[in-house]
Chains A and B, each alone.
Chain A
Amino acid sequence: MGRYLIGRMLQTVLSMLAVISIVFVLTRLSGNPVHLLLDVSASERDQEVLTRHLGLDRPLPVQYVLYVRNLALGDFGHSILSRRPVTQHIRERLPATVELGVTAMLLSVLIGVPLGMYSAVRRGGALDRAARVFAVLGQSMPTFWLGLMLILFFGVVLGVLPAGGRGGLLHLILPAFTLGYFTSAAILRLTRSAMLEVLGSDYIKFARLKGLPEPVVLWKHGLRNALLPVVTFAVLLFVQFLGGAVVTETVFAWPGLGRLILESITTRDYPIVQAGVLVLSALYLTGNLFVDLLYSYLNPRIRHYSA
């Protein structure tokens, strides 16, 4: 297990290095922030001074080495636009993103798992059909459109929920549902198929033959075994939520990390883009690592095979 763990961690570090390098090069290919920071009437001298001030006059390899060295020392640099430490920007935005991500994830699980389970148990019934319609809609409706429709219905027509912005619990409902709907549909389908497989297995038949009450058969023996792929899927989705909520954050004017990265891309604020992508990659790779370790813990064949 120890060797497996070290191997996977090394892989994670190498992946991070690759991400750092790719993001560094791509951001610099995408245009010079000096041109966006200064008015079009700025002089050559202003451009030179600002370029030097931002350290963008140095050769790219030098900039890269400095960047990696600073990263190793825990220094993400300063925003080109605000001149504040990048960590401050991330710290300001991460709570909003985590708040939205966690709520969306909870909604997904609370909707997807029970519906998926009962859909499998009542296969072919009205609930199953309704659940499948729910799943198809959830996976086919664009987030952007769904968000706007929810705003119009609950915010404008009924006037019961805020139409945008971050505030109390009420502000969270619509963006969390918008973000979580797609995932809840995916979790529903996954739970349903896993449950169908489990319910057809010998040990479930045996449990029923033993005369165990049906709720015990379903919840204790059925769902616990069916949940393994669902948990894996949910962990990875949660990590994706943290960075992939750009559309939801934009539609609902939610001041999260995804929007920060998007805005920083448009202004070529390299340090924020680099740090944001790095944080998200780290979360994703850590999530992956966690899932792998969980799998190898639960299924010894994996670690033995890897070893």
Chain B
Amino acid sequence: MNRPLGIALAFALAVVTFVASPAAAKPEGTLTVAVATFGNERWLPNQYVGAEDVVLKPLFENLLTRDPKTGELSPMLAERWQVLDGGRTWKFHLRKGVRFHNGDALTAEDVRHTFATLVKDGSANSLAPEFRLIKSMEVEDPLTLTVRFDKPSVVFGNKVNQGLFSSVAFIQSKRTIEAGEQAERNPVATGPWKFAEHVRGDRIVYEAVENHWRATPHFKRLVFLKVPEPATRMAMLRAGSVDVIEVGGEYVEELKKVGVRTLVMPNVSWVYIILGGQWATKPTYDPKVPWAQPDAERARKVRLALNLAVDKQAIMQRVLGGLGSVVGSWLSYPSDPWTTDASRKPYPYDPPKARQMLAEAGYPGGFDVTMNLTAWPGRGYLPDVGEAVATYWEKIGIRVKRRPLDRAIFAADFRARAYPGVALAYAAPLVAPEPWEVMFRAGYTKAALNLFMEHPKLDEFIDRLAVQPNAQERSRIMRDELGPWLQEYVPGVAIGAAHAIAGVGPKVGEWPLIPGHMGFHNWEYVTRK
């Protein structure tokens, strides 16, 4: 190749690279998103719960995140971290040069103050119980924070990363937090989007931070609109008033029919039926509840019968619009490394066998049960799942009393474990990548919360997993021991893993999503078409 031609080609290549490079592109246009809820619409660490993270994530960042391809922990505000003393000590080394939107430099003291605020008495933050296990925090230098625990906290990295639902340990500046009400009016953080406007109950507007340390957004403005009615969200997307909508599975076919692009976020929540009352050591324990009676074998047969009576595939297809995978074992996703072929296989739909199991358990004529039909935020389909399961149970002779109940009423019983003999449909979002972390909340007697079941064997598993620093060994314990035990024990009625759906308009190009992450995220990486 002669020299002038080489120079010309090199120049052309440089021009093409510059034009094509997303990092070099200046943010332009507006990305408008319609969501059903904004949650609490609060901006301080001890005031948001977690369900609102969809609208908070563009603004805030965490110490760590997850790799979109592998799901592994990866750096965010902390450029590296060390796990010492078998998980009792976590040392975070912050990235140099990161600034808050008000110009303040990010320091370890900001991180320490954020975590201290998160655990204040009366904190609404869903991570408060986990962060209260911290024994001390030491700011070693402006960019190094050491967090110490009494007992090993081997998955603390999962609590400080952004790639999860409910990952609300967002880092804020000490100065902002101390400003209190001012921060509520003009929140400040380090994310790729900065706060522009908040009209409560109507819209939240962000503007792109140009030359952001991590990712300069492709769009200039990001507008979240609160549109509670799903049919309106769909119409707004079709009319071009918005570019992205969240929508339930029941609307997917309709969207496809009219040619709207949908984006599936697979396996984001686990749908199952809670069988209340499996808490033998609690004062509210009722030994007459068939599935929780002292005779463990008879109780198990009842729980198994309740599983065999239900056609999970039909529920997945008809109630959840076919957007999910039926799985056999409780709280493991089909793609998890600890999920085995055996645990992927659901209990078969076998009503005659279910009746036989009931008879063997001493209930040939069935029994009475109450099914709570309670909707939870972002999971409006749950009463329909409960209704479908109730109908299947009736076919094997169980007499089901449906009880439509508002969450505000039921929440008190739920917290107090005062609903023995009551069943309800529930969907657990992926609040942690490892299922035992969810069980820590739902079934561990030594945790602040024990929602619906307890068992000495489960405590034993959790005790072992909680101090096991080796991730591969934790995976093995879950795959070879905990998973099979849960499948054998049958704690609830397993339905399966549900997907989340986004309807996407013509302006939206590429959108890399982190696997298993419930709710929209990674707005800064959404490209323009």
Contacts and interface: CB of A to CB of B under 8 A. Distances in A.
Contacts of A130: none
Interface residues of A, number: 48
A302 to B, nearest CB: 43
Interface string A5-41: 0000000000000000000000000111101111111
A156 to B, nearest CB: 5
B121 interface: yes
B379 interface: no
A43 B227 CA distance: 33
A46 B123 contact: yes
Which of B40, B42, B229: most chain A Cβ within 10 A? B229
B449 interface: yes
B236 A163 contact: yes
Which of A33, A46, A250: most chain B Cβ within 10 A? A46
Contacts of B125: 39
B60 to A, nearest CB: 18
A82 B121 CA distance: 18
Given A53-B122, A81-B41, A251 B229 contact: yes
A77 interface: no
Nearest to B48: A39
Contact of A37 (B49, B227, B232, B235): B49
Nearest to B38: A263
Interface size class of B (residues with CB under 8 A): 35 or more
A148 B232 CA distance: 7
Given A92-B200, A253-B225, A39 B408 contact: no
B389 interface: no
A214 B270 CA distance: 74
A138 to B, nearest CB: 21
Contact of B240 (A93, A159, A253): A159
Contacts of A266: 408
Interface stretch (B107-115, B154-162, B411-419, B499-507): B411-419
Contact of B128 (A46, A92, A93): A46
Interface string A248-261: 00111101000110
Contacts of B231: 148, 251
Given A163-B241, A164-B241, A253-B229, A39 B124 contact: yes
A41 B408 contact: no
A204 interface: no
B202 A255 contact: yes
Interface in A228-258: 250-253, 255
Given A41-B449, A164-B225, 20 more contacts: A35-B411, A35-B412, A38-B124, A42-B123, A42-B129, A42-B448, A46-B122, A46-B128, A82-B184, A83-B181, A92-B199, A93-B201, A156-B235, A162-B241, A165-B241, A250-B228, A252-B232, A253-B202, A263-B201, A268-B408
